[in-house]
Amino acid sequence: MSGGKLAPYRSKRDFTKTAEPSDRSTVAPSNRLRYVVQKHAATRLHYDFRLELDGVFKSWAVTRGPSLDPHDKRLAVEVEDHPLAYGDFEGTIPKGQYGGGTVQLWDRGYWEPDPGFDPQQALNNGELKFHLDGERLQGGWVLVRMKHDRTRSKHNNWLLIKHRDDAAQDGDHDALLGDDRSIASGRAMAAIAAGKGRGAKPFMLGGSAKVAPDAVWHSKVTSTPPRAKSLPKGPVPDFVSPQLCRGVERPPGGADWVHEIKFDGYRIQLRVAGGAVTLRTRKGLDWSDKFPAIVDAAARLPDALIDGEVVALDERGIPNFSALQVALSERKTDALVFFAFDLLHADRADLCGEPLAARKEGLKELLAKHGDGGARLRYVEHFETEGGAVLDSACRAGLGRRRGRVRGR
């Protein structure tokens, strides 16, 4: 079905020299349309934006990358269709080959056209409105073909624009693009170019086996503690774009996963630098003045960047989101608790590429040594038993509506 569509892709590549997937590679079926964004350092740095449609990836090279600001209209140059297996490609394309350079899996997830619109017809008409549900990109978007592109030879210039919704950020100044971490391997571009670090966790699940659309890949990851001397050194970053949860039908099992309670609160990133504490929301907004008691408790910590959640607890110790909203509206937040579940930076070292188990061990030690005994700052324990049992126990304890956080070791 897609062989003719992929003829241009095949003609541009020598598969004896490049590790890019051939057009004959297979992937698992899905009942949702998938998308990927690949950061591509070729002749010029750009971001390859790919939407699954009719058995291939419709593809655009977004020269400056996607923007969360609805005012920014980003040039998106339409390129040849790519095979779906390309959605798992992260690595290097040899110099001298088409697109030679480093490729990073920068974002991926699912997309759907606006209700009532046929996506192929919308592309033919030059305006595709759609919704993204990814790890970095969310909400409504539109691809608009530039008006002067009237002939077939010039049908390749489009504009990628963010719709105004809860996921939009006016004047974000491309802060999201500053996060140089693969969402599939955790590697920076330099590590990918050097062939260092673990490979990308598959998303398209290439192969002939039938895999459920909500399947989660079980990737073996070591739990070796971070080696501070070998890690990149530098000051604590102002903010790291957080990894977001993805809904699945059932929790994964196996020894490669740990399970955490998903508290009903506000996701907050806690930064400590020279005794100065900053609390930022998942969108990077500074909320430090809303939680003065947590700021005071964190001031005793060494320089670090910690991912966590601010929560209000009821008399039974159960998270209560309504109570959290009341506390914020009345500015009575001294009883709120910051539940810490990940350590992103410590001892002037970037830990984002380290195994989760090692980061959590470092976080637990840091809070035990420098914390406030759990009054305002608390470490989030995890469970290594079967995922379904953990979820059922959490529900019986009143900890949410069949929700939890599952993360690879």
Nearest to 186, CA basis, from 351, 306, 353: 353
> What confidence score (pLDDT) does residue 127 get?
96
Same domain, 52 and 167: yes
- One domain for residues 261 and 168: no
Is 74 within the bounds of a domain?
A: yes
For residue 8, give the 3-state DSSP assignment: helix
Same domain, 136 and 42: yes
Q: What is the pLDDT of residue 175?
A: 86
**Residue 299: closest CA among 327, 339, 270:** 270
Same domain, 254 and 189: no
Question: Count of domains in the chain?
Answer: 2
Domain closes at, from 161, 177, 193: 193
Per-residue pLDDT of the chain (409 residues; tens, 9 = 90+): 455 789 999 999 998 899 998 877 778 888 899 999 999 999 899 999 999 999 999 999 999 999 999 999 999 999 999 999 999 999 999 999 999 999 999 999 999 999 999 999 999 999 999 999 999 999 999 999 997 644 444 558 999 999 999 999 988 788 889 888 898 888 899 989 988 877 788 888 643 333 333 333 333 333 333 444 456 678 999 999 887 776 666 666 655 677 777 778 999 999 999 999 999 999 899 999 999 999 999 999 999 999 999 999 988 888 899 999 999 999 999 999 999 999 999 988 999 888 888 898 899 999 999 999 889 999 988 766 555 555 655 565 555 544 445 455 5
The answer to whether residues 175 and 280 belong to one domain is no
Return the closest-CA partner of residue 407 out of 351, 352, 357.
Answer: 357
- Asked, for residue 229, whether it belongs to a domain, the answer is no
Q: Are residues 45 and 168 in the same domain?
A: yes
Q: How confident is the model at residue 78, as a pLDDT?
A: 96
Q: How much is the pLDDT for 139? A: 95
At 226 the pLDDT is: 40
- pLDDT score at 23: 73
If asked whether residues 143 and 14 sit together in one domain, one would say: yes
pTM (2 d.p.):
0.54
How far is 290 from 328, CA to CA, in rounded Å?
A: 7
pLDDT score of 358? 86
Would 79 be classed as within a structural domain?
yes
Residues with catalytic function: 262
Residue 237 lies in a domain: no
Per-residue pLDDT, 64: 94
The range of the structural domain enclosing residue 264 comes to 250-408
Claim to verify: residue 185 and residue 292 sit in the same structural domain: no
Neighbour-count burial for 205-222, b at 16+ CB within 10 Å, e otherwise: bbeeeebeeebbeebebe
159 vs 71: CA distance, rounded Å? 12
Residue 328 included in any domain? yes
Do 42 and 61 meet the contact criterion of CB atoms below 8 Å apart?
no
Q: Which CATH number is 380's domain given?
A: 3.30.470.30
Domain boundary among the residues 193, 226, 258 is at 193
What is the Cα–Cα distance from 60 to 38, expressed in whole angstroms? Answer: 11
262 neighbors 292 (Cβ within 8 angstroms): no
Shared-domain flag, residues 263 and 374? yes
220 domain residue, yes or no:
no
Residue 203 lies in a domain: no
Task: Examine the domain organization and report whether 180 and 88 are in the same domain.
Answer: yes
**Residue 199: inside a domain:** no
Q: Do 13 and 6 contact (CB within 8 A), yes or no? A: no
Residue whose structure tokens are 């506390």: 327
pLDDT at 12: 94
- Are both 48 and 154 inside the same structural domain? yes
Say yes or no: 181 and 261 in one domain: no
Which residue, of 146, 163, 193, is where some domain finishes?
193
